[in-house]
Amino acid sequence: MKVIIVGGGFCGALVAKKLEKFKNISTTLIDKKSYFEYQPSLPKVIYKPSYISKIRKQYSTFLKNTNIIVEPITKVSKNYIETTKSKISYDILVVSTGIEYPVFLKNKKNVHILKNGYETLEISKKIKNSSHVLIVGGGVIGTEVAGEIVEKFPNKKLTIIHSKNKFLNRLPIDSSEYVLNYFIKNGVEIIFEDKVIENKKGVFITKKGREISADLCIWCAGIKYNPYFMKNFSNICFSKRNAMNVNDYLQLKGFKNIFIGGDITSIIEEKTARKSELHAKIIVNNIKNMLHKKPLVAYRTGTSPMVISLGDWRGIIIYKYVFPGLFIPGILKWLIQWWFIRNLK
């Protein structure tokens, strides 16, 4: 059986790793880059650029029996996949290409996102010479980035603008209030229920007419689903926002030989690394079951623990209840990263 995996993030890398133990499965991983990157720890790189070495791992170091192709995808069809240089047939396809983080501004000068290590290293360079930093977005990423800046760059003026009426608006109110109080205590300027619509030479104009002069803008608002390489597939395969529709077994709607995992699915749940890991587990089990002609296993979304960091040690643990505080959230966040990277070996 030939299995091709498109995208080597949390879901794709784990599927490849777990399939290596099956001798009758030939696995190929296709990605634009040659390494796995532990994205939840990217905020740490802002203060300490050398930290990037702790969260990157070359695919070749832990995927010993997987064919690795480092090329952009151009097209996916029902039985084959095309890159800029290759055309490869498959029996089973796993799509786990993740999501994009668009900046909704025409002028993107001095505006950066935490999309990958390279972007984060650019932020690290520029923040040192910036006196005023603007963060757009108060979700999980925006909150964690702000927490790093508050702790590591206490002399920087920091402004957060968020289109909702509270931080972490999809999470319990106790977590929102804890974050709000922490930022107020540390002198952060907070603007709720407004959004940046224009960058006019470093002056950021909001929808309500505010003008914010900042040296650096870190954009942490909004996501975009962009499976451009599957545009020839039927509309039933895509949600209104262009996410990929799946059945209970994480198969693309209408296709038994295509599995979808990670952030690109249309499943209504928090887009977290943990969810991608759970998708990978289901996909591997179902590929194995297809191989042995056994019934498939259904994916059931549910509540998973979340750890949100505010610097190295302070943070919040969310699992049914909210547990804010010092040391334990920071230690747990580091242990999760360490454990995941270690298990890739």
pLDDT in tens, 210-239: 999 999 999 999 999 999 999 999 999 999
Work out the percent of the chain whose per-residue pLDDT is above 70.
100
| CA 133 to chain centroid | 22
Pairing of strands 26-31, 66-70: parallel
Q: How confident is the model at residue 343 (pLDDT cuts 50, 70, 90)?
A: confident
Average model confidence (pLDDT) for the chain?
Answer: 96
Own/partner long-range contacts of 248-251 (Cβ < 8 Å, ≥24 apart): 248/298, 248/299, 249/282, 249/286, 249/296, 249/297, 249/298, 249/299, 250/279, 250/282, 250/283, 250/286, 250/299, 251/286
Q: Which two three-digit tokens encode residue 177?
A: 């209030």
Q: Contact, 5 vs 16, CB < 8 A?
A: yes
Q: Which two three-digit tokens encode residue 336?
A: 């999760």
Checking if the pLDDT of 345 tops 80, the result is no
pTM of the predicted protein model = 0.94
pLDDT in tens, 132-184: 999 999 999 999 999 999 999 999 999 999 999 999 999 999 999 999 999 99
Q: How confident is the model at residue 321 (pLDDT cuts 50, 70, 90)?
A: confident
Print the SS3 string covering 78-139.
CCEEEECCCEEECCEEEECCCCECCCCCCCCCCEECCCCHHHHHHHHHHHCCCCEEEEECCC
Domains of the chain and CATH, by start? 2-100+223-304 (3.50.50.60), 111-222 (3.50.50.60)
E strand or H helix at 68: strand 66-70
pLDDT in tens, 304-315: 889 999 999 999
pLDDT-wise least confident of 2-6, 193-197, 286-290, 316-320: 316-320
